[in-house]
Amino acid sequence: MNDELRDRLLRLNAAFVANEVQPDVAVRLACDLLEAGVDSPALRELAGESPTRLTVRQVRPLVAAALAELRLPVLTRHQVGWVLARDVARQLISGELRRELGANRLWIIGQWHGLDELKTELAPEEIIRRAETQLAGW
């Protein structure tokens, strides 16, 4: 599995924990994983679903089964926070997000996920470095 697919799978795992799985995103990822040679019964079932008709309620058990079949542990609250913080930091670096809004989002992520260090002024590159350390081995 390449880095891009691993990153998307990590974000799906975070969305699962946060109860924010988007059915179309999950279906597209399942198709892409199968195309890349990653296979499991739940991935095949998920890939066969309609991305426009599958509901959030229907997608959750399929995502849970796929994560389990791929032997991927469900992320902790802290790990979800690091996934979200890393995404915000990447948006700050690319210029997609203004500094003030990014700082506000990071503070909220820190508050919700128990990551007090995000409530301080950290450079986006440092946030990415810390996130990668916290998510290593996943």
One domain, residues 30 and 86? no
Q: What domain range includes position 97?
A: 77-135
One domain, residues 12 and 56? yes
One domain, residues 120 and 95? yes
Per residue in 115-131, pLDDT (tens digit) is 998 888 889 999 999 99
pLDDT score at 121? 82
**Domain termination site, one of 69, 85, 119:** 69
Per residue in 51-61, pLDDT (tens digit) is 999 999 999 99
Task: Give the closest residue to 52 by CA, choosing from 30, 26, 72, 34.
Answer: 26
pLDDT score at 137? 74
DSSP annotation string for 50-91: -TTT--HHHHHHHHHHHHHHTT-PPPPHHHHHHHHHHHHHHH
One domain, residues 23 and 54? yes
26 CB contacts (<8 Å, ≥6 apart)? Answer: 12, 46, 54, 59, 62, 63
The whole-number average pLDDT for the span 90-96 is 96
Spatial distance between the Cα atoms of 111 and 118, rounded to a whole number of angstroms = 8
Per residue in 94-117, pLDDT (tens digit) is 999 999 999 999 999 999 999 998
The tally of domains found in the chain comes to 2
pLDDT tier at 44, thresholds 50, 70, 90: very high
